Amino acid sequence: MSDTKKEQTEINKLHKRLRKNVGSAIADFNMIEEGDKVMVCLSGGKDSYTLLDILMHLQKIAPIHFDIVAVNLDQKQPGFPEHVLPEYLQAINVPFHIIENDTYSVVKRVIPEGQTTCSLCSRLRRGSLYGYAKEHGVTKIALGHHRDDILETFFLNIFYAGKLKAMPPKLLSDDGQNIVIRPLAYCKEKDIEAYAELKQFPIIPCNLCGSQENLQRQVMKKMLENWDKAFPGRLESIFSSLQNVAPSQLADSQLFDFIGLNLDQRADVSADSVVMDSDKLGLDILQR
The pLDDT of residue 40 is 98
Q: What is the mean pLDDT of residues 28-43?
A: 97
The pLDDT of residue 270 is 54
Residue 106 pLDDT grade (very low, low, confident, very high; cuts 50, 70, 90):
confident
The pLDDT of residue 241 is 97
CA distances from 164 to 76, 160, 175, 242 (A): 36, 11, 23, 10
Question: Could you say which DSSP state residue 161 is in?
Answer: I
Report the distance separating Cα 47 and Cα 40, nearest Å.
Answer: 11
Calculate what percentage of the chain has a pLDDT beyond 90.
67
Question: Could you say which DSSP state residue 35 is in?
Answer: T
The pLDDT of residue 287 is 54
Q: Bridge-partner residues for 180, per DSSP?
A: 141, 171
**Residue-range domains of the chain with CATH:** 3-249 (3.40.50.620)
Closest CA to 47 of 150, 170, 165, 179: 150
Residues 112-148 pLDDT 10s: 766 666 666 777 888 889 999 999 999 999 999 999 9
Residues 247-272 pLDDT 10s: 999 999 999 999 999 998 776 655 55
Assess whether pLDDT exceeds 90 at residue 196: yes
Assess whether pLDDT exceeds 80 at residue 50: yes
The pLDDT of residue 286 is 46
CB hemisphere CA count around 12 (13 angstroms): 6
Q: Which residue has the higher pLDDT, 215 or 237?
A: 237
Residues 59/69, Cβ–Cβ less than 8 Å: no
Computed over every residue of the chain, the mean pLDDT equals: 88
One-character DSSP codes across 179-206: EEE-TTTT--HHHHHHHHHHHT------
The pLDDT of residue 284 is 55
Assess whether pLDDT exceeds 90 at residue 210: no
> Could you tell me which residues come within 8 angstroms of residue 44 by beta carbon, excluding any fewer than 6 positions away?
72, 84, 85, 202, 203, 204
Report the distance separating Cα 54 and Cα 196, nearest Å.
Answer: 11
Calculate what percentage of the chain has a pLDDT beyond 70.
85
